[in-house]
Amino acid sequence: MKALDKKVAIITGSGSGIGKAAALLFAKEGATVIVSDIQEENGRAVAEEIKSNGGNAIFFRADTSQPADNEALVKAAIDNFGKLDIAVNNAGIGGPMGLTGEYPIDGWQKVIEVNLSGVFYGMHYQLPAMEKNGGGVIVNIASILGMVGTRFSPAYVAAKHGVVGLTKATALEYAPKNIRVNSIGPGYIMTPLLTTNLNQEMLKMVEALHPIGRLGEAEEVAELILWLSSSKSSFVTGSYYPVDGGYLAQ
Ligand code: NAP
């Protein structure tokens, strides 16, 4: 018996990085995966990779900052597979960097819309579907920057702190309805989000912030997402779990 046998899971932003690693692992563990991303070509490729490995997946394009896209994504799970068991709200962007006093207003709005409102919109449609199904599990991808600050990314830090709080509030509401909701806080992970935003010198600097002495891999985050999504974590809800090479222990 695999950890996610017979489970139907939505993973947003799963055309790349952490979401992609989670999609591949979920499929390996028996889940049917709705691979969703704003990047159609990447998302389709992940769904194809799962199918060519013998797994079950479809791609559905959704921009998580649009409420209607989130509604359509949940509908796609129900229409194709009859239910929704697991949702991983992972889609996110880095956004611009700059001092709060100089930060572009449109950059602030975009980061908050994708990284915070996107998680709310997702859960807003996922929760009733799960309730109808008798329960479910949601994992929201926050960040170490949902617990502590950093300079020059005020919108990202605010959005990720928001995800941690929103996760707790939602978990309290839905614990009696058999829906568990947790967030996780990756340290700096080697994905396109990081490598397109930071140059080699900056990557060396952030690497040094991790006591374990290196950056994380997407697969290491996916293992925690899997555990939180499986029945092995059946008494865990409303929690925040770092996966950060010791970053937050300092
Ligand atoms: P990634 O490799 O860039 O993957 C994220 C995927 O989500 C990309 O395909 C991206 O497309 C897509 N996306 C962006 N905006 C979207 C939207 N509005 N709707 C649907 N899809 C959208 O990034 P990652 O590093 O795996 O990040 C995944 C999550 O982990 C994010 O929430 C991020 O904040 C969080 N996280 C990452 C790190 C890290 O160091 N990598 C650390 C802590 C937390 P585009 O390429 O068009 O943006």
* Tens digits of residue pLDDT in 114-166: 999 999 999 999 999 999 999 999 999 999 999 999 999 999 999 999 999 99
Report the run of H or E that residue 138 belongs to, with start and end: strand 136-141
Element (H, E) at 71: helix 67-81
Domain with 56, as residue range(s), is 8-233
The pLDDT score that the predictor gives to residue 6 is 98
108 residue type, one letter: W
User: How many domains in the chain?
Assistant: 1
The C-alpha angle 167, 88, 220, rounded to 5 degrees, equals 100
Q: Classify residue 238: in a domain, yes or no.
A: no
Q: Are strands 86-89 and 240-243 parallel, antiparallel or unpaired?
A: unpaired
> Could you tell me if residue 86 is inside a domain?
yes
| Residue 1 Cα to ligand 1 middle (Å) | 31
54: left (phi over 0), alpha (psi -120 to 50) or beta: left
Which amino acid, residue 161?
A: H
Q: Which atom of ligand 1 is nearest to the CA of 18?
A: 26
DSSP string, 153-216: -HHHHHHHHHHHHHHHHHHHHHGGGTEEEEEEEE-SB-SHHHHHHS-HHHHHHHHTTSTTSS-B
pLDDT, one tens digit per residue, over 96-114 is 999 999 999 999 999 999 9
d(CA 148, CA 144): 6
CA of 19 to the centre of ligand 1 (A): 8
Is 107 part of any domain?
yes
- Asked whether residue 245 is assigned to any structural domain, the reply reads no
* pTM listed for this prediction: 0.99
Q: Is 121 a catalytic residue?
A: no
The Cα-based distances of 241 to 19, 90, 141, 215 in angstroms read: 17, 15, 10, 17
Instruction: Find the catalytic residue in 121, 125, 156, 188.
Output: 156
Query: Does some domain include residue 221?
Result: yes
> From atom 32 of ligand 1, which residue's Cα is the shortest distance away?
92
Task: Round to whole Å and give the CA distance between 236 and 213.
Answer: 29
247 found inside a domain: no
* CATH (domain of 86): 3.40.50.720
* 214-239 per-position pLDDT tens digit: 999 999 999 999 999 999 999 999 99
Distance CA 74, CA 140 (A): 16
User: According to the model, what pLDDT value does residue 110 have?
Assistant: 98
pLDDT computed for residue 4 by the predictor: 98
Q: In what order do the strands lie in the sheet with 136-141?
A: 56-61, 32-37, 8-12, 86-89, 136-141, 179-186, 240-243
| Mutation pick for ligand 1 pocket among 191, 221, 224 (CB with most ligand atoms within 8 Å) | 191
Instruction: Please give the average per-residue pLDDT across 10-38, as a whole number.
Output: 99
Residue 250 lies in a domain: no
Domain assignment of residue 179, yes or no: yes
Residues lining ligand 1, Cβ inside 6 A:
12-13, 15-19, 37-39, 42, 62-65, 90-93, 114, 118, 141, 143, 186, 188-189, 191-194
Q: Are 57 and 51 in contact (CB under 8 A)?
A: yes
197 pLDDT higher than 90: no
